[in-house]
């Protein structure tokens, strides 16, 4: 079964009486990365958790390749704050491979290849929870790539990294995108959005304000909110 | 204190009567921990992960059982195993097996309660990641029990400590029969009342040593895990 197209059909999410997302419709197809931007609290993480099937919409529906079963098949996610299993870096990857149903004989080779891909081969046997923030972020990426995803969801994967580490993570993401993986990623870093995005989703106050090709969005944002956001004006979520 | 000196001599000279009692006690308590773990680990894990009707009541019962005095647990097991009780036909009363059962009943709730807390905390941490990896429920439990193994061993050691130190339950269902069901704690109670202080004090020393050793291993394990597992 395929994961794409990912379809949001008039989706709303509320907790109690508080709406986190309101009447959101969008279609995501294979192709260049889709970057989700918007102020703190705009609903970016909520949107990504819906796309991953971790929460159910209160209204409307989400479908993956036309089906409604939220069990992840070829989807993977890197969280805003990834949690490392209490195991070595290598075992974090082999665990993900096992869960993805990879044949036992190939797990070892696949795991080494994934660690090499994210540049962690030399610290494969270190406890994952002792790694630095940037290393953990890359390990989380390796774990996600272990699922051989068709759709890879990333929630601000470089938020607390220095420029070098950010570049390392961006390279891995760009590589994954080139290999045909659809990227859906939240980011606060407009430079990063320019570097990676094929299209942009702009959220504020839990509503989708713009969904357009990256170039269009940066050159000619349609809504005043997006214009202000791009100018660097403070767009408050109140 | 001359008794202290002769108690010490009993311990260091490897007095056979004393060490026979120590061996039986350790055997009973270790088997009780094994049995208690067999019940307490999966039970605690399930309560942590599964929402079902009566879950709250079960947690209250388990917590209450943790606080029960051992003599009451002993009495309950006694009634179960006595000739007219539901399990009377097995003839287990006043055997080491009966003592293992009573101590297992005593510590299974401790292991279950600690396991629930440990697994629930780790589940809160792991939930998103495991869900995103599509891990099915039983494997979630296995993963959580495995990744929490160090804390869980500490829970088992706590259970062992309670088993080794209690006197009421083994006294009632074991009967404190010499060379058969006499444990360190029941022997201490008996010898003290008989006035044979050296044996009582010797056993007391061994018991203190065991409890210290158990706590030292719990500590050592923690330090080791901090370094190796993170
Ligand atoms: N479980 C919850 N209960 C109540 N409010 C919540 C819950 N989860 C999220 N929210 C609220 O919903 C809003 C959107 O949250 P979300 O995490 O999606 O924002 P975000 O765009 O990812 O923000 P950030 O840039 O800070 O990561 C926030 O105001 C948040 O406080
Ligand atoms: Mg967020």
Q: In chain A, what percentage of residues exceed pLDDT 90?
A: 86
What pLDDT sits at residue A236? 63
ipTM value greater than 0.85: yes
What pLDDT sits at residue A234? 66
A217-233 residue pLDDT tens = 999 999 989 999 998 87
Average model confidence (pLDDT) for chain A?
Answer: 94
Please check whether residue A200 is in contact with residue A192, taking contact to mean a CB–CB distance below 8 angstroms: no
pLDDT of A238 higher than 60: no
- Please choose from A11, A35, A38, A44 the residue to mutate so as to test ligand 1's pocket, defined by most ligand atoms within 8 A of CB: A44
Average model confidence (pLDDT) for chain B?
Answer: 93
Helices (H), chain A: 44-52, 89-99, 104-117, 133-145, 163-178, 190-196, 214-219, 224-231
* Least Cα separation, residue B224 to chain A (angstroms): 12
What pLDDT sits at residue B163? 94
What pLDDT sits at residue B224? 87
Chain B CB within 8 Å of residue A89 CB: no
pLDDT of A116 higher than 90: yes
- Which candidate, A128, A76, A181, A87, places its Cα nearest to that of B134? A76
Q: Ligand 1 atom closest to Cα of A20?
A: 12
Q: Tell me the mean pLDDT in the region A198-212.
A: 95
What pLDDT sits at residue B227? 80
Q: In chain A, what percentage of residues exceed pLDDT 70?
A: 98
The residue whose CA is least distant from atom 7 of ligand 1 is A15
What pLDDT sits at residue A235? 64
**Range with the poorest average pLDDT among A138-142, A193-197, B86-90:** B86-90
Q: Is residue B48 part of a domain?
A: yes
Query: Could you say which residues from 35 to 54 on chain B have a Cβ atom under 8 Å away from some Cβ of chain A?
Result: none
Q: Tell me the mean pLDDT in the region B37-42.
A: 95
Q: Tell me the mean pLDDT in the region B8-27.
A: 92
Query: Could you say which residues from 214 to 233 on chain A have a Cβ atom under 8 Å away from some Cβ of chain B?
Result: none
Q: Is residue B2 part of a domain?
A: no
Q: Is residue B9 part of a domain?
A: no
Please check whether residue A23 is in contact with residue A9, taking contact to mean a CB–CB distance below 8 angstroms: no
The set of protein residues with a Cβ atom below 6 angstroms from ligand 1 is A 15, 18, 20, 38, 40-46, 80
Please check whether residue B163 is in contact with residue B101, taking contact to mean a CB–CB distance below 8 angstroms: no
What pLDDT sits at residue B1? 62
A20-A22-A23 Cα angle (round to 5): 155
Q: Tell me the mean pLDDT in the region B75-83.
A: 95
Cα separation, A59 vs A17, in Å, equals 13
Q: Is residue B5 part of a domain?
A: no
Q: Is residue B172 part of a domain?
A: yes
Chain A CB within 8 Å of residue B128 CB: yes
Neighbouring-strand partners of residue A182: A151
Q: Is residue B60 part of a domain?
A: yes
Q: How confident is the model at residue A1 (pLDDT cuts 50, 70, 90)?
A: confident
Q: Ligand 1 atom closest to Cα of A206?
A: 14
CATH number at residue B210: 1.10.3720.10
Neighbouring-strand partners of residue A217: none
Tokens of A51: 């796309």
Counting the structural domains of chain B, the total is 1
Test the B interface: residue of A77, A85, A146 with most B CBs within 10 Å? A85
Domain ranges in chain A are 6-83+149-231
- Please choose from A17, A20, A49 the residue to mutate so as to test ligand 1's pocket, defined by most ligand atoms within 8 A of CB: A20
* Least Cα separation, residue A99 to chain B (angstroms): 6
Q: How confident is the model at residue B26 (pLDDT cuts 50, 70, 90)?
A: very high
Q: How confident is the model at residue A21 (pLDDT cuts 50, 70, 90)?
A: very high
- Chain B residues whose CB is inside 8 A of the A147 CB are 133
Cα separation, B19 vs B190, in Å, equals 16
pLDDT of A237 higher than 90: no
Q: How confident is the model at residue B228 (pLDDT cuts 50, 70, 90)?
A: confident
Q: Is residue B180 part of a domain?
A: yes
The DSSP result for A176-238, as a single string, is HHHTTPEEEEE-S-HHHHHHH-SEEEEEETTEEEEEEEHHHHHH---SHHHHHHHHT------
Q: Tell me the mean pLDDT in the region B206-220.
A: 91
Question: Which carries the bigger pLDDT value, residue A121 or residue B4?
Answer: A121
- Chain B residues whose CB is inside 8 A of the A86 CB are 147-148, 229-230
- Chain A residues whose CB is inside 8 A of the B148 CB are 86
Q: Is A221 left (phi over 0), alpha (psi -120 to 50) or beta?
A: beta
Taking the model in full, what pTM does it have? 0.87
Cα separation, A193 vs A210, in Å, equals 15
Question: Which carries the bigger pLDDT value, residue B67 or residue A98?
Answer: A98
Other beta carbons less than 10 A from residue B2's beta carbon: 8
Class for the domain spanning A6-83+149-231: alpha beta
pLDDT of B132 higher than 70: yes
Q: Is residue B146 part of a domain?
A: yes
């Amino acid at each position: 079964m395929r994961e794409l197209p990912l379809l949001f059909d008039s989706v709303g999410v509320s907790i109690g009486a508080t709406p986190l997302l309101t009447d959101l419709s969008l279609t995501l197809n294979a192709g260049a990365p889709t970057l989700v931007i918007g102020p703190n609290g705009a609903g970016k993480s909520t949107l990504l958790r819906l796309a991953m099937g971790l929460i159910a919409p209160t209204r409307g529906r989400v479908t993956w390749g036309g089906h409604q079963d939220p069990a992840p098949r070829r989807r993977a996610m890197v969280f805003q704050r990834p949690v490392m299993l209490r195991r070595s870096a290598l075992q974090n990857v082999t665990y993900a491979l096992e869960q993805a149903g990879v044949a036992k004989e190939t797990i070892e080779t696949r795991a080494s290849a994934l660690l090499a891909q994210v540049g962690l081969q030399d610290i494969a046997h270190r406890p994952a929870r002792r790694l630095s923030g940037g290393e953990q972020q890359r390990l989380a990426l390796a774990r996600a790539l272990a699922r051989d995803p068709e759709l890879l969801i990333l929630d601000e994967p470089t938020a607390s990294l220095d420029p070098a580490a950010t570049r390392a993570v961006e390279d891995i993401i760009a590589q994954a995108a080139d290999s045909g993986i659809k990227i859906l990623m939240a980011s606060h870093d407009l430079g990063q959005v320019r570097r990676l995005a094929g299209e942009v989703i702009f959220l504020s106050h839990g509503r989708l304000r713009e969904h357009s090709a990256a170039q269009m969005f940066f050159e000619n944002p349609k809504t005043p909110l997006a214009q202000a956001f791009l100018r660097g004006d403070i767009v408050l979520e109140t | 204190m001359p008794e202290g000196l002769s108690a010490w001599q009993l311990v260091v000279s490897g007095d056979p009567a004393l060490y026979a009692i120590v061996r039986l006690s350790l055997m009973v308590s270790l088997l009780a921990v094994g049995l208690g773990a067999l019940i307490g680990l999966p039970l605690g894990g399930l309560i942590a992960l599964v929402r079902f009707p009566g879950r709250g009541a079960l947690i209250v019962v388990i917590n209450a059982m943790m606080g029960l005095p051992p003599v009451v647990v002993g009495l309950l097991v006694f009634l179960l195993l006595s000739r007219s009780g539901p399990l009377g036909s097995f003839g287990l009363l006043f055997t080491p097996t009966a003592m293992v059962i009573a101590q297992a009943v005593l510590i299974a709730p401790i292991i279950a309660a600690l396991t629930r807390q440990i697994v629930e905390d780790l589940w809160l941490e792991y939930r998103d990641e495991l869900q995103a990896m599509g891990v099915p429920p039983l494997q979630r439990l296995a993963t959580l029990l495995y990744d929490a193994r160090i804390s869980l061993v500490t829970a088992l050691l706590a259970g062992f400590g309670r088993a080794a130190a209690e006197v009421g339950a083994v006294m009632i269902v074991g009967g404190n029969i010499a060379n058969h069901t006499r444990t360190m704690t029941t022997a201490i109670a008996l010898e003290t009342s008989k006035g044979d202080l050296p044996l009582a004090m010797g056993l007391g020393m061994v018991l203190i040593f065991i409890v210290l050793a158990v706590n030292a291993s719990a500590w050592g394990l923690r330090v080791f895990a901090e370094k190796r597992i993170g």
